[in-house]
Structure formats: structure tokens, C-alpha cells
Amino acid sequence: MKACASGNRVTGSSRRPGPPSSSALPVSSRLVVDLGALRDNYRALAARGTGAECAAVVKADAYGLGLEPVARALVGAGARTFFTAFTAEAVNLRALLPDAGIFVLSPSLESDAAALLRERLVPCLYDRAGVEAWSALGTAQGVRVPAAIHVETGIHRLGMSEGEARALGREWKADGGRWLDLRLVMSHLANGDDPKARSNRVQLERFRGLRSLFPQVPASLANSAGVLLGPEYHFDLTRPGISLFGHDPHYRDTAPRVRPVATFEARLAQVKHLRAGETVGYGATFTCPHAMRIGVVLAGYADGLPRRMSSSEGKSPLRLAIGPHRVPVLGRVSMDMTVVDLGSVAPEDAPPGTMVEIFGPSVSIESVAERAGTIPNEILTGIGRRVPRVYVNEDVSLSGAG
């Protein structure tokens, strides 16, 4: 894709130069991605790494923000190593970044072996069967095949047991890693987002013991939350993901260490005046206690607004933003629309066509996630594909780099 002269870019049904404004894009909603903030976040997290290399986790289409522009921005900030979840994602990334180191966290060797070899990808092997299959392929090809070893330390997802890891360590030392070129020993924290969790220290000690089985092989334990736990957790390589995109997993509201990257906003399509006693939305779950001015916003759960954001008795409603004003959600979020109370906004400040911020600099993604009973990762990756992504502060010098 070629960047606009201004460094802003739109993906979707249309492209227009210049910064986004409420009248620039004829769309119902949009996700504005600040690539300058993304680069700043990467540099800030890399600086916390106490000498460790800072990789970038870009699985799930770069957490829903778009793999191509995000990857190029991260390269511009200094990233040289990347992680994806699946091989297909890594193949797409390799087409963009021919020289990057790319690890695949959840490879399927039965179907992906040829692509892994062809694209110079590094599978993260999590059991002995995978190690044996990958080593056998190296033997058949007469080459040392690159791999990472993912060891289990307490999260109990993918990961090699301690017994398997110790057996592999003995074998690897005995044959000098003849067919297996180990690039990394890694594990994953279960409670890194809670600095007080005792399990963090337990996993750290287990990991220290297991990585010692593979001397001279680089080690990695810290995800986004682990980076913020401190130097003991950094080892040789850190792997931030969600923090790159603006969420501090330790929820520090003062002196934030990362900046919001994404702003999700939608158009106010209609303003209505209701009488006391009239109801709003499916199920008539909200009844006007008095005469009210309401607004219909063109975004709903098909666009990534969880239906659990709907207003309900006993809970304070989520408040979206129109400029400096906060407007409560009324009734149920539907597939394509959400209704808000415009009583706190002067009519001239909220005419039809006004863009309403769902999350971004004014409404934190954390507050949206909390109201929906989930986490920012799910909110961000759940933004629907019909929502155009608009890229601002793009490094034009990298836009055509291969």
C-alpha cells in the first residue's frame, strides 16, 4: 500500500488524504490507529528491558489493528524480532519483512513444515513429538532446523513438561544440537498482570532451572506484564504484545507508561426527543424518567461493542465521549446501533454527523472492557472488519519498504 502524502492512510472502501475529521470519511465508524504512539510505546518498552532485546507480538492481525502498517511502524521503531500465533500469520509477515526473525507460537508441524522451512520461520516446539518430527525433517533435508523450546512453568497451556525438557536437554548436549538449531528457550507467565501474585516468583524459579538445561541458548519469559515486573524477568528477549497497543496490564492510571494507540469512534446518525415513560431499544430495558434528548450511534456488537456494555439496573452506564462531554449508553447495544443520552451536551455540539468516541484518549479501553466484563485484549481484537482502519502519523519513508 502506498501512503498518502500526509502520512495518513485509510483501509476500507475508500482512501482520502489528510487527517481524519468528522466530515472527511463517509463511514459509520472507524478505528484510528496512531502509528506514532505505537512507535513510542515500543521504544518505551524496549528501554525497560535492561539489556534484553525487545521483540513484538503481532498475532491476530496485530491485535486487530492491521499487520502491515503495524509491522512497518515497529520496524521503524527498531523491532527486529516478531512473534505470531500461527504459521499463516507468519507467512504474511515474512512477505512484509524478509529479514526479520519470526517465531510461530502455535505451529502445526503436520501441515506447516514446508512453509516453516521455506519462509525461514522458527517454530516454538511444545512437546517431544514436535521436537522429533522437526528434527527428523532436518535429518532428511540434511540441515539444522531452527526452533524455540516452549517449556511449561505454571500456566498449563502449550508447553513442554519438566521431564520432557530435561530429557531433551541431555540429548541436545550429547549430540551438540546436530539437527536442532535452538534459537530460544521460552515460557509464559500466568499472573504477570498481578505484581503481587506469588506464582510469578514460582514460575521465575522454575524457568531459571529449565533454561539452565540449554546453556548459551537465549531465554525469554516476559510478556507485556512481565516486562513491567522488573529486570529479573527480562532474560535475553522480552515479548510485549498488548502493551505495544496502549494497555498497561498493571492498570497504572497515574504516569502511564504507554500511550493509547487506537481510537474507536462512530457517527451520530440521528437525534430524537422522547417523552417521560417512553422506552429505548430491544426489550424496552430503559424507560425515560423524564423528557430526554437521545442520539443513535452507528456502531453495535457487529462492530465490536460487546452487548454486555448495555445499560442495566444496578450498574452505572458506560459513558462515551463527544468532545469534552460524557454521554451514557441507554438500553441494549444492538447489532448496528447504540443509543446515548445527549442531555449533558448542547444541541449545537452534537448534531447528526458528529463522531462519538467509544474508546481512545477520552474513554479508556480499560473502562470499556471493565463494563463488558472482559479485558482490553478482547475488545481490541474484536473490532469488526467492516470498521475501516485509519492510520495516522505513519512513517512515509517505510511505507513501501519490503
Give the CA dihedral 372, 378, 379, 381, nearest 10 degrees.
Answer: -160
- Segments of 71-176 assigned E as strands: 81-84, 101-104, 122-125, 145-150
Nearest residue to 263 via CA among 206, 320, 218, 215:
320
- Locus of grid cell 506484564: 225
C-alpha span between 360 and 263 (Å, rounded): 4
Whether the Cβ atoms of residue 265 and residue 29 lie closer than 8 Å to each other: yes
Give 207-266 as a DSSP string.
HHHHHTTSTTS-EE---HHHHHH-GGGTTTEE---GGGGT--TT---SS-SS---EEEEE
CA distance 295 to 343: 10
The Cα–Cα gap between 144 and 193 comes to 37
- What are the residue numbers of the active site? 59, 282
Residue entry with cell 540441515: 143
Smallest CA-to-CA distance from 171 within 199, 131, 141 is with: 131
Q: Tell me which residue has cell 518505551.
A: 44
- In this structure, what are the phi and psi dihedrals at residue 398, rounded to the nearest 5 degrees? -105, -5
The pairing of beta strand 338-341 with beta strand 292-297? antiparallel
What whole-number distance in Å separates Cα of residue 264 and Cα of residue 306? 13
Q: Which residues pair with 359 in a beta bridge?
A: 264
Report which of 125, 60, 66, 129 is spatially closest to residue 88, judged by C-alpha positions. 60
Instruction: Tell me how far apart the alpha carbons of residues 203 and 396 are, in angstroms, rounded to a whole number.
Output: 42
